[in-house]
Each structure stands twice: as structure tokens, then as C-alpha cells.
Amino acid sequence: MIDPLICARAVVFAATMTAAGAVFFMIFVAEPACAGAKAGASVLSTVRVQSKWIVWTSLGLCIVSGFAWLILTAAAMASRPAAEVFSGNILWTVLSQTEFGNDWLARFVLAVLLAAAVAASLPSSSAKPAWLNPVSAIAAAAFAGSLAWSGHAAGGIGLEAVAHPITDILHLIAAAAWVGALIPLALLLGAAARATASLPIARAVVLRFSTLGIASVATLLLTGIINSYYLAGSIAAVVTTDYGRLLLIKVALFFAMVAVAAVNRLRLTPRIVEDASPVAVLKAIGHLRMNAAVEAALGAIVIIIVAALGTLPPASHAQHHAAYGSVPADAAFVHIHSRQGMADVTISPGRAGTASATIHLADEDFGPLDAQAVTLTLTAPTTGSKPTTRIARRDIDGDWQVDGIALAVPGNWAVVVDATLSPNKHLLLDAPIVIDPAQ
């Protein structure tokens, strides 16, 4: 059965990439390429109108599918059927008191701002205020990058809390600049190919898009490696978890897209730019448009996979379940390691509601670590949440237990273990832990 949440996320991601990509294409490729060309005004006017409708249609889809995403998420957080989230203050609580809700509101404002900027910056005439391009580009980048707070990047601790969101933002912007610009590219090349006088515009467009594509692919590759470091964990976890296997498929599709792009850059672009025969140039343009459609189709599949990955626990978390056979299947688990010692924190059941925590302490050689007292601090993934600290009790096996923990919402909770080893020595460990929605 198709998961409605994955469908909503996929439409939001696809529409966001398309809207932002169309804006990037117009500002950084189409307008500079058409400037000064004899046939540029006609081609640019046509593509501006087409891009305007692409952006507005995509933003409309973002709002509709984003509202569905909000309903489904609120229902999961409140452990209610979707039809019941309109009663009471459930929706407002999610919007005002959770990171997801705050991001949803910010994206709605950005969508309105982007729609207004596009309305002003894509008129039928070429004249427009100089400040509109920077405003449109910044709004498009913010709109695409804001999706970072809807995924796993928002749940980091320490350095990860800064580095991971930044790389995810850059990853999303680069994806929009490449994949989201493919449809406008095909449309402009089609408009330019209708007349021989417009072929210089096609040449300039291809060169500019090639530069944009190279920069985007390099950014995607670098940020993808960093994101995988935080989310994938070990090679074993990548191979043995659903998250890891989907990630491998995503990577394979990415390199397939890069292969198609390489053909465009190394074979078709030289033919379009250097060949003196209009017939040969038109043929190469046709092949390039077809390849752009193939890249867009592969990109759509990648977006669906990204939508599914956001609903799964990262492989870096799931790998600990495989390493520790005693971890219950429905529990949340995190292994926190430092040079002074380590802690295995198991929260069972690992979903929103009431749960119990077990803390196993070990030294750097995985031997028993004796502690005089242990406290567990949990912070919910909601804006303004206050940490809750509980004193753990030691059981007969030497582990530390905390019962009756209230996990109000699902998401990436912050965990802090404070173990008193001696009157003047503490072991302080912190990490995120994934809590699933209530069943």
C-alpha cells in the first residue's frame, strides 16, 4: 500500500525543486544568454511566460501537498486519526510549538514571497528593477533550503547540529539548480531551435547551463558524502538496513544522471557550440532536450526515494540494533562514545507515549564502568522545549533504569547521560535518538 505521507513529501520536494530551479535558470542562464542577441527578446519573453507558470503551478502544488503533509504529521504526533486533527488546538500546537510546524509556516511565507517576486521579475517585457533578481534568487534558495528542517538534519547535537543542516541546505539548493532547471532548459532550447537566428542563444544557454550543472554536481557530491557520514554509519548498516539500501539506490541513480550529464557536456555541447552546420546543431539540440528529459525522470525517482528516506530511521541509528542483539525490535537505541567512556541508551518502546530507559555504561575497552550516580536528560524536538532530567536507579545487572518517561512527540530527541564517577569526575555524553510516532 502506498504511504500517503511519502506521497505528500515527494510532491512537496519535487514541486520545490521545480519552482526554485526555474527561478535559478531564468536568472543565471536564460537572461544572461539572451541579453544583446537579436532574437533574444522574443525567446526570453516566451520562456519567461513559461517559467512563470512553472513556478506558480509548482508553488500551488507545494501548498496543497504541504497541507496534506501537515495534517498527516499532526495526526501522528497527536496519535489521532487525520480527520480529528482539526478539533481542539492540535494543528495550532504543531504549527507553533514544533520545529516541523515552524518550518511549515516559514515555507508558506517564502512561497508567497517567491510567487510575488516571480510575478514582478517575469513580465512580458524585458525591463525590470535591478533588485528583483537578487531577491528572487535568495527567496528561491531559502525556499529550497528550508526543506532541510523537515528531515534528519534537524536533530543533531553539538557540531553536527550546525554542520549537518548547512550541508543539507547546500545539497537541496544544488539539486534545485540542476534538476529543477532541466524542464526550463528543454523549453528554452525548443524555443531557440525554431529559428536559425536563435541558434547563438542556444549555444550561450548550453554553455551557461553546463557551468551551472558542474557546480551543482560538485556541491551535491561533496554534501552527499558529508550527509552520508552522519546518516549512513558503517558499510554493514548501509547494506543491512532499509535506509541504507534505499540510499544505495539513490546514489546509483545520481551517478546515472551524472553519466547522462557527462554525455551532454563532452559530446553534445561541443557540437552545439562549435559545429557550423545548422542542421547538425539542431540535431544535437534535439538529443540534448531528450537527455534533459531522461535526467528529469531519474531525478523524479531520486526525489521519491528522498521522500521515503525521511520517514525511516537513519542507518547510523539502526546499525546499533544489529550490533546489540538484546535491543528489542520496537526500542529506540543510541550508542554514545567518548574517550572517557560510553553509554548504550535503550528507550522502550521507542515511540511517542510512555516509555522506560535502560543505560549501560562501559569504559573505553568495553569493560564495565562503575558510576556512583546517573541522570538522564531528554529534550523534545519542539521549539522552546525544556529539558527533563530524571535520576536513574541501578538494577541487579549493573545497568541504570528510568521508568515512566513521557515522550510527547516523535522526532529526534536530545539525550544527555551524566554519570558521576567520583566526587570530582563526571562522564557527560550526549546524542540524538529517534522516537517514532505512536502506533
Q: Which of 316, 343, 370 is the last residue of a domain?
A: 316
Q: Tell me which residue range forms the domain holding 339.
A: 326-435
Global pTM reads 0.74
For the chain, the domain total comes to: 2
Instruction: Give which of 304, 268, 300 is closest to 284, Cα–Cα.
Output: 268
> Looking at the domain assignment, is residue 160 inside a domain?
yes
Left if phi > 0, otherwise alpha if psi is -120 to 50, otherwise beta: which for 353?
A: left
Q: Tell me what pLDDT residue 308 has.
A: 87
372: domain CATH number is 2.60.40.1930
* Contact status, residue 428 vs residue 418, Cβ threshold 8 Å: yes
User: Are 148 and 292 members of one domain?
Assistant: yes
> Looking at the domain assignment, is residue 102 inside a domain?
yes
Give burial (CB, 10 Å; 0-12/13-18/19+) of 279. Answer: exposed
Pure H helices in 79-198: 90-97, 99-121, 132-145, 160-178, 182-192
Give the residue carrying C-alpha cell 532574437.
39
Angstrom distance (rounded) from CA 146 to CA 140: 10
User: Are 99 and 206 members of one domain?
Assistant: yes
User: Are 243 and 381 members of one domain?
Assistant: no
Q: Tell me what pLDDT residue 391 has.
A: 94
C-alpha cell at 14: 519535487
Q: Tell me what pLDDT residue 298 has.
A: 95
> Looking at the domain assignment, is residue 321 inside a domain?
no
> Looking at the domain assignment, is residue 179 inside a domain?
yes
Q: Tell me what pLDDT residue 322 has.
A: 43
Q: Around Cβ 172, how many Cβ atoms within 10 Å?
A: 26
Angstrom distance (rounded) from CA 135 to CA 140: 9
- Coil, helix or strand at residue 167: helix
Q: Tell me what pLDDT residue 229 has.
A: 77
User: Are 16 and 50 members of one domain?
Assistant: yes
pLDDT tens sequence for the chain (439 residues)? 578 888 999 999 999 999 999 999 999 998 888 876 666 667 777 888 888 899 999 999 999 999 999 898 887 766 667 888 887 777 887 787 777 788 899 999 999 999 998 888 755 445 677 788 899 999 999 999 999 887 665 555 556 667 778 999 999 999 999 999 999 999 998 888 877 767 888 888 899 999 999 999 999 999 988 887 777 766 766 777 788 888 899 999 999 999 999 999 999 988 888 876 888 888 988 999 999 999 999 999 999 999 888 777 666 555 444 444 467 778 888 888 776 788 889 999 988 889 999 999 988 767 788 899 999 999 888 877 888 999 999 998 889 999 999 998 888 888 889 999 888 888 888 888 888 887 6
Q: Tell me what pLDDT residue 159 has.
A: 63
User: Are 308 and 332 members of one domain?
Assistant: no
User: Are 242 and 380 members of one domain?
Assistant: no
User: Are 250 and 377 members of one domain?
Assistant: no
Which residues, 6+ apart, have CB-to-CB distance to 233 below 8 Å? Answer: 244, 314, 315, 316, 317, 318, 319
> Looking at the domain assignment, is residue 81 inside a domain?
yes
User: Are 382 and 420 members of one domain?
Assistant: yes
Q: Which of 316, 343, 368 is the last residue of a domain?
A: 316
Q: Which of 291, 316, 341 is the last residue of a domain?
A: 316
Q: Tell me what pLDDT residue 38 has.
A: 64
> Looking at the domain assignment, is residue 407 inside a domain?
yes
User: Are 141 and 222 members of one domain?
Assistant: yes
> Looking at the domain assignment, is residue 191 inside a domain?
yes
> Looking at the domain assignment, is residue 284 inside a domain?
yes
User: Are 334 and 277 members of one domain?
Assistant: no
Q: Tell me what pLDDT residue 319 has.
A: 47
User: Are 426 and 278 members of one domain?
Assistant: no
Instruction: Give which of 155, 156, 153, 110 is closest to 135, Cα–Cα.
Output: 110
User: Are 210 and 141 members of one domain?
Assistant: yes
Q: Which residues pair with 347 in a beta bridge?
A: 332, 357
